[in-house]
Structure 1
Amino acid sequence: MVICIVNLDVNIFKDVARVESKTWMVTPDKYQTVAHTPEGVEPIMGHWMSPDTLSTELDSRFPGCMAGRIMYVIPFSMGPVGGALSKIGVQVNLSIMAIGAYVGDLGKKCFALRIASNIAKDEGWMAEHMLIMGVTRPNGKSVSSITGRVILSEC
């Protein structure tokens, strides 16, 4: 299954962070990406678009936009290449500077919370924007407390 996450903001100079209202998940099946809602009710946790609609939108909004430009297609691995839990992805960008600069959020937002949530559903686990941490002393003995934290996107 291929999931495409696209930001349909025409003004790339404002593209300093993901804008939820302009971010769409593109899959053949709507319910791979958004919750089931009654007819006419828009899900608040994501926007879905079919691959055919995306193609039409891109053709109408960005005709000739890549003329004379370079598109960087950078493969990456979340984890060791070939690892049992590793996931492979591809980053597509117009700016070579953004390739290295965006890597920190690449796993957290683009991959972990969206695509990994879908993979998790299929594999029976859950991807979450949270932290559960225990501490082990250098002598190998565990500290008796474990802490949990919610990490908000605005932080």
Structure 2
Amino acid sequence: MSQRRIGIVSDSHGCVYNIECMVKKAPEVVCWIHAGDYCEDAEILAAYAGVPVYSVRGNNDLYAYQKPDCRDVAVDGVIITVIHGHQWYDNRLKKLIELGKNHQASLVVFGHTHCQMLEKREKILIVNPGSISLPRDGKTGTYAVGTIDNSTLVGVQLYEL
């Protein structure tokens, strides 16, 4: 099995131009994960990227009843748990780790804060790609790309438009 990449994005808030720029700049990926807030942008992302997009509902997705609040995505045997993260304000990191353990995930992806984060805790990589449209960390729009090699998550790289 060869190396495969997954795109990770969150909080797109309808900014189609930045989605298009992200797809053009990002390395080739086998799928994208959208961690909520304008999860309907996942359909636009899928059209631009030509690969599957897996999304969850965020706090600004009030009418996206068909989307789950949390989901698991498996790529080459690596389990990725995705949640927007607005559900928890207190002890968010601790709860994300617990979620990852409960789902036997190697990677937990969340959004909501609009700030990039990459941290490994208890053998689980926790990633927030920030926001592709409205970053709150002084950047121009952010996303991430994870790499899987031989059914093992080898890392995640954070990117800025």
The two structures share one fold, judged by TM-score above 0.5: no
In proportion to residue count, which structure has more helix? 1
Specify which structure has the bigger relative contact order, considering alpha-carbon pairs within 8 angstroms and separated by 6 or more residues: 2
Greater strand proportion? 2
Higher-Rg member (1/2): 1
Sort the TM-score into its range (normalised by shorter chain): under 0.3
